[in-house]
Structure 1
Amino acid sequence: MHRTVTNTILSILLVALILVVLPANAFAASASASVSSSTVKPGDTVTVTVTFRGTDIGVVDGTFSYDPSILQYIGGSGTSGGGGSGLIKLVTSAPNSSSLSATMTFKALKAGSATVSATAGLILSYHEEKSLGTASASARVTVKAPGSSSSSSKPNNNSSSNTNTSNNTDSSKPKTSEPNTKEEKEESPTNPVEGTIKVTMGDKELYLWKDLSSVKLPDGFKSGEAFYKTVKIQAAVGENRNITLVYLTDEKGENGSFYILDNDKLYPYITLNTTSTYTILQLDDPAKLPEGYKETELKLGNQTVQAWQLESGEHPDFYLLYAMNDKGKKGFYLYDQAEKTMQRYTNRTVVKEPEPMTLIEKLTSDTKLLAVVGTLGALSLILLIILIVLYIRIRQYFGKARTYYPDIPDGRYF
């Protein structure tokens, strides 16, 4: 009997544990990568497809990296980048999706092997916007020189590149040795950020690229020219908006991102997609800030932007942002962090009607009226003095006249 009760309790605990663990695993995200052709020649193009999977997946925000000396990023779907790294941004309008895919198309530059790695740091569900975790995947691309066509010679080229034990004929030796020598020269260490401009952003040191010929520009931008501290550079210029972007990477030429160039000031280029597309800007004039707001920070994905909230602490889910809409108009917008919506901000300050002024306030506020009242007051005072003098004179007159004429009435009647 005791063993039966124990087994029953253990079974209940096991079922409860399964119910707790299964939902977490059911919503966890995963990723996989595939290559259109794992082996290509210099000059060929290759497409890497990364698929992120998850229950009711809705948003994917991540990055990808590759070897820029072997591969050149030339485009893709849901991706942008260049110089060894890029961004992955996927959003679906279809509910109950089980996967989202991004593609990256590269041009092979020279012989070698490169790994394309993709990592999603933010994966959200469509309906409840719950985090599905993170996911990563990678694919390897091999670029072979045109001379290495024989399959039987591949192992020999790899294994005997530093020895002379192969039994090839004299005519084949130059063909196997010369390409290897060239590859060794080409693969010699080079500075990936040579010719860039060193920029300090907070506690980080980044490098601004003066040439964007190998970088895919964001949608709505075209190649143009700009100046950064008197240095002429190539930049991404907005086609319909007055905004200029530059491209920055780390010291390895990786983890590249676009930054807004505003009078030699740089800050991250961040777009917020709701019903429209907004570009988050930094406020150029603090005097424009509406009264009653204090500065704070808002985290959007992996980036932190300038924002403001009410000083009173009311409505903590609402942030005031300074942004530019897709028509190029700048202004303040209210961002609802809970529902991920943007609304144009209008000054809601209530103008109170002035209270009615008292008679004294009216007199003191109107100089003309005050002068008229003063004049009338002076005349009234003079008239009063005259009446008093007349009254005294009349009393004196009747007092003297009664002495001579007793029948005159007493002056007290006057």
Structure 2
Amino acid sequence: MPQTDSFTYFLLVAVSRTSQPDNLGYSTDECMKNKYRFTLKLLLLIAFLFLPGKICQAASANIDITSENKTVEKGDTVIVSIYLTSEDLIGDFEGYLSYNADVLEFENSGEVAAGGEGLVKITDTGVPQGDKQRKYALKFHALNYGKTALSLTDETSVYSFDTGDNMSVSLNQLKIEVVSDKSASDNAYLKELKLNPGTLSREFAKKTASYSVTVGSDVSQLVISALPEDAKATVSITGNKDFKTGHNTVEISVEAQSGKTKTYTLDVLKEEAGEVPGNETTGQDEGENLDKTAIGKLQLKKEAENNYLTGGFYLQLLTPGEDVTVPEGYEKTSLVVDGTSITVYTNTSDLDSDFLLLYGENKSGLKGFYQLDRRENTIQRFNPVSVKEGEKLVIPKNARNIEHYQNQIVILGIAAAVLTGICSALAIGIIRMVLKNKNSEDE
């Protein structure tokens, strides 16, 4: 039955009931109360039938966060799409997208999306015309290995274009994992671990993770030389400062290019004042006196974006330009000072050498390579002609060229002297012949 006919039939029945005589056993007052109740219900029914159904339903919207690639490689670009859909017209939209800033880096900067450091604000307000579907694309950079979840916070609001009311919102969460490139190395081993002062309790082996060392009461930190086997791996050190009397833990972490990590643990036993350390000079030549306070001479000082190596000297550390030639026989590596990795150059023929090269500028403004003695913690200008390392003498290529030219000059000098002698002998012979012929003519 159509809705109008049903309502007419209902009214006819209601009228017929209200027009019946009050002879059904009810009093006149009870009949009047029943009529009032019936009239109230009738009015509510009319309002329910004729008012729009939408008034009884709150407007809602759905937000879907998605990406074509949920597993990406480090360095890749990640496009995250945010879809808004609703059966009603969508007006203004404001939302905050959270993510792990250690894994992803936000790259966009525009009128709608802005932010970073783990939170992106999306502001799309003042829209001239509502729509039932909307899309936002955000661009990220895969910064580091790991997993992250991207989701909108509770402060997210979607407004109806028609009424301006806040819609109820249902949304999801997007998970992205950054993995390593198949070609990336997973070598997280160290090839060298040296300390100053002190000596490791056992010979260093790349697969052995735990070591110990005993130091004097005046040592508050160590100079640690931790060189990775893979040049693309990174080294970080924690706990290497403000040693207290007793046991202290220093951790040396190596992160491979693939993201794989290995941690070497160093137990540093700082002795009480007045005690003599037992084995920190093991391996030194007999009679050698190692200055245990030398550690205080080598420090890393940071000013603005510059690093300075300080102590009995003051050297600003620089990166060699393209016009600077690294001395032959040296390769680039790193040295950790005060928990910060700095660039140094080691002798390829003697990786265990106590001498390293630094490139920097001294207080006088003189730029060039400087030689660091990591045993004595001293720095001096690097002599490009020859560098004495123990009993070895390393002669760079340019020095060999100089020696070659010097030898050539000596040879030319000798040849010139010989030619001069020959010419002199010939001249004397000619003079004698002329004199002899003249005497013969006079006779």
**Same fold per TM (> 0.5)?**
no
The structure having more radius of gyration, on CA atoms, is 2
